[in-house]
Amino acid sequence: MTHTDTLPRQSWPGRAEAWLDDRGKGAWIALMVLSFIFVWPLGLAILAYMIWSKRMFACSSRRRGGPAVGFGPAFGFGPAFGFGGSGGTRFRSSGNTAFDAYKADTLARLEHEQEEFEAFLRRLRESKDKSEFDQYMTERARDAANPQPAPQPAPQPGPQAGASANLPAETGRD
C-alpha cells in the first residue's frame, strides 16, 4: 500500500507531491534539476518549495513517519543534537539505557579532553610568545650595552688626486 492509496481524493498538485514523496528525495531532486534545465523559473520555485517544506534537508525516514533531521533548528537540528534547549548537551534517548550512559560518558570525556587540549595549545602559544619576547629583549639589551661603531665607508676606487706622483718617471728612451 502506498502513501497515495491512504489519502482521500486530492487535487493534482497534492497527488503529484504524494507521488514524489513515495519515491523519495531523489525524485524531488530529479524534478528540480529537470525543471531548471527546461523552465528555470519552475526549477527555482520547486527549490524554494523543497527548502520551505523541509524536503531538501529531511532524511528519508520522514516518508515513513520518522522525525525530520536537517541542518539547524528550522530543519529539526535542535536540542537532540546539542543545539538549543536549556544548558548542556542533550540527546534523545536511543531506548537502550546502557548505550545512552556510555554515550554520555564518552561525550563528557571528549569534551574534557578538548578543553585540556585547548588549554595546552593556549599555554604553548603563551610560552612561545614569551620566549620570543625574552630573546628580543636580550638582543636589545646586548646591543645597548655594546654599541657597534658605524662602519666607515670604503674608499671609492678610481683616479685620485696626486696619483701621478706615485707613478715611476718615464725614461727618455725613444
Give Cα 29 distance to the centre of its chain: 26
Kindly give the confidence (pLDDT) of every residue in the chain, 174 residues in length, as a single tens digit, with 9 standing for 90 and above: 555 555 556 788 788 888 888 888 888 888 889 988 988 888 888 888 888 887 666 654 444 444 444 444 444 444 444 444 444 455 677 888 999 999 999 999 999 999 999 999 999 999 999 999 999 999 999 888 887 766 777 777 766 555 555 555 556 565
Residue 24 C-beta-side C-alpha neighbours within 13 Å: 4
> What are the φ and ψ backbone dihedral angles of 59, each rounded to 5 degrees?
-80, 170
pTM, 2 dp: 0.32
- Quick check: 68 and 75 in contact, CB under 8 A? yes
DSSP state letter for 91: B
